[in-house]
Amino acid sequence: MTNNETMLSDLKGIIQPYIQNQEAFDNLTEATDFINDLKINSANLVDIVLDVEDKFDIEIDNDSMDRMLNVKAALEVIQEKLSTK
Amino acid sequence: MIGNDIVDLQEAASTSNWQRRGFLEKVFTPNEQSMILATTNPFQMVWRLWSMKESGYKFYLQKNPNAMRGFYPAKINTQIICGEIGQVSIHDMELKTKTICHPNYLFSTAFEESNISTKTNIFYLPQRAFQFQSNFIREKLINYLAEKDRLDKVHLKVKKNKNTAPLIYYKSSLLPFSCSLTHHGNYGGFSISKLNIKN
């Protein structure tokens, strides 16, 4: 797997426990929205952000967290934070 | 305009851990963090303030349907005024909130001070599936309106716009209500208020 594929598969592993729409998860793309598509409760978004921090050993500031509403944005934030580590 | 949010306390206890490292800093302002740590029941305070923030955010999106969505709980300021009444500041907006503290859930509603005539219904949701819960709450809302205004419920429809604020139609006319739907764990509810003409 390439780095990007590993990153996506790690992210999917993190969000899976919180999803409430399995079909949208099975058909996940970069455009998939955590709340509108996966029906993740907003109270669990912060858990996802914290899980991402732990998994990738990065720190996500609140301005970056602000936009982490979909797969594409989450991957971008992870990449940005990894590149400035 | 109206925004609401429910927290099922048992669900919150089992799916989130407010004590994990970074949680408080990501969700709360420094003032809110101090307030949480100073209370005898920080768990309750965490979720009360959370539901106030979330109800304020939903109000904001309803008022500004073209606003960018975002996840910025720590930029939404909350304050408890007295008892169940609180205040939320989001962007340039100041809202009042009311939080019902039930042993099983917390339910917050955000509204403008000039419009406090809000009807709220809260119910136990017997099933967990998202679609079931969403349909169940809409049906409760439709039944409520049908009964209150003696409308034929076959013609009542709840639709959502792109920022997910629900709109209520009778036949093809938009009814002059603001409403907000919420569910979490095994509880859900709706809040509805009559729109002021100036809105």
> pLDDT tens digits for chain B (199 residues)?
899 999 999 999 999 999 999 999 999 999 999 999 999 999 999 999 999 999 999 999 999 988 999 999 999 999 999 999 999 999 999 999 999 999 999 999 999 876 667 899 999 999 999 889 999 999 999 999 999 989 999 999 999 866 667 999 999 999 999 999 999 999 999 999 987 654 4
Structure tokens at A77: 């934030």
Do B88 and B97 touch, CB atoms closer than 8 A? yes
Residues of A in contact with B26 (CB under 8 A): 46, 49-50, 62, 65
Instruction: Name all domains of chain B by residue range, CATH numbers in brackets.
Output: 3-116 (3.90.470.20), 122-194 (no CATH)
Instruction: Choose, out of A66, A68, A70, the residue to mutate when testing the contact with B (most B CBs < 10 Å).
Output: A66
pLDDT on residue A14: 97
Length of chain B: 199
Question: What domains does chain A contain, in order, with CATH numbers?
Answer: 3-83 (1.10.1200.10)
Chain A 13-42, CB below 8 Å of chain B: which residues? Answer: 18, 20-21, 36, 39, 41-42
User: What is the predicted pLDDT for the residue at A64?
Assistant: 97
- Tokens describing residue B122: 């809260």
Does residue A18 sit in helix, strand or coil? helix
Given an 8 Å threshold on Cβ–Cβ distance, is B22 in contact with A36?
Answer: no
Can you tell me the ipTM of this complex?
Answer: 0.93
Residue B96 CA to residue B82 CA, distance in Å, equals: 11
Cβ contacts of A52 on chain B, cutoff 8 Å: none
Yes or no, beta carbons of A46 and B23 under 8 Å apart = yes
The pLDDT of residue A1 is 64
**Cβ contact (<8 Å) for B70 and A66?**
yes
Give the mean model confidence (pLDDT) for residues A30-52. 95
